[in-house]
Amino acid sequence: MKTGETHPSGRGTSGGSVTRSGVTMTLGLCFAVALLEGLDLQSVGVAAPRMAREFGLSVGQMGLAFSAGTFGLLPGAMFGGRLADRIGRKRVLVISACLFGLLSIATALVSDFHTLVIVRVLTGIGLGGALPNLIALSSEAVEPRSRSTAVSVMYCGIPFGGVIASMIGVLSAGDTEWRHIFYVGGAGPLVLVPLLLVFLADSKAFTQASRDGQAKPAPVGEILFGGTRGLSTVQIWVSYFCTLIVLYFLLNWLPSLMAASGLSRAQVGYVQIFFNIGGGIGTLCIGMLMDRMRSGLVVAGMYVGIIASLAALSMAPGF
């Protein structure tokens, strides 16, 4: 049997990919988790004006509430990725989904600002723990030449989750009700967990390393800066930092800024919906281009597009 052919068991030989149904199942489940992660990430921005009225939040307090979840993403991603090297990507993803699902529901139950900040930090830890494992599972499910496309298919779930959050905001009745969006965002991951346990295959790389007795992760410094990776690591850090500044500013503050400028609640929701639709389409297109063109050229073009879009947004006269 040649490398790349499917074994009768359906797993594929060494160096080959899993069956097409297995790839579809893995990417579908990872997309579903990313969808719910995007729903939770953008729920605070959608609910913010109503939360501010109920809790009497100042602009500074709203900023702290927004950043609390983002702050939790950092330790969550670092700890989640490291833990996955020891116990497996699937296990950590299930734990993370349970964590951010339960804490999203807890967000709906808070009664004061300080509790809100604490709960959002913990929610961010769960969200952060899920993301590196979603990327790893998606990229390992396909052949190397298709990895950028596979990751983009998974990752577009995040902006499409934002579409759901925005639609809930548009359809919700009244100017004070905001808790239902967190109930929806919390119930989804908990419903999905049994499906992950039954149908999601674990990382092929982790399974092979465990079988060979090599599951102990390498030192972080070696992973990030070993060989010729140092400059690339710094470049990725800087670009990701700058991109996320723009992204989280738009996700968290754009609804409040638009509402303050006189747009109706429905108009604010529609702008957010189309912002996220554009994000999903962009993710898919850029991922496919990364598999077909020089990555540096694609990324440079992406940043030119970001600058042009922000300039256009700043000059937009109205809805």
How high is the pLDDT of residue 205? 74
Question: How many C-beta atoms surround the C-beta of residue 92 within 10 A?
Answer: 23
Q: Which parts of the chain have pLDDT scores under 70?
A: 1-18, 173-176, 212-217
Give yes or no for a contact between 185 and 46, defined as CB atoms under 8 angstroms apart.
Answer: no
- AA letter at 312: A
How high is the pLDDT of residue 212? 66
Question: How many C-beta atoms surround the C-beta of residue 255 within 10 A?
Answer: 26
Give yes or no for a contact between 62 and 147, defined as CB atoms under 8 angstroms apart.
Answer: no
Give yes or no for a contact between 132 and 109, defined as CB atoms under 8 angstroms apart.
Answer: no
How high is the pLDDT of residue 8? 39
The DSSP-derived string for 73-105 is: HHHHHHHHHHHHHHH-HHHHHHHHHHHHHHHHH
- AA letter at 23: V
How high is the pLDDT of residue 52? 84
How high is the pLDDT of residue 9? 39
How high is the pLDDT of residue 288? 92
Q: How far is CA 102 from CA 22, 111, 126, 186, in A?
A: 29, 17, 10, 6
pLDDT tens digits for range 268-295: 888 889 999 999 999 999 999 999 999 8
Query: Buried (b) or exposed (e) across 130-155, using 16+ Cβ within 10 A?
Result: bbbbbbbbbbbbbeeebbbbbbbbbb
Q: Which fold has domain 20-213+230-314?
A: Growth Hormone; Chain: A; (1.20.1250)
How high is the pLDDT of residue 44? 84
Domain ranges of the chain: 20-213+230-314
How high is the pLDDT of residue 86? 87
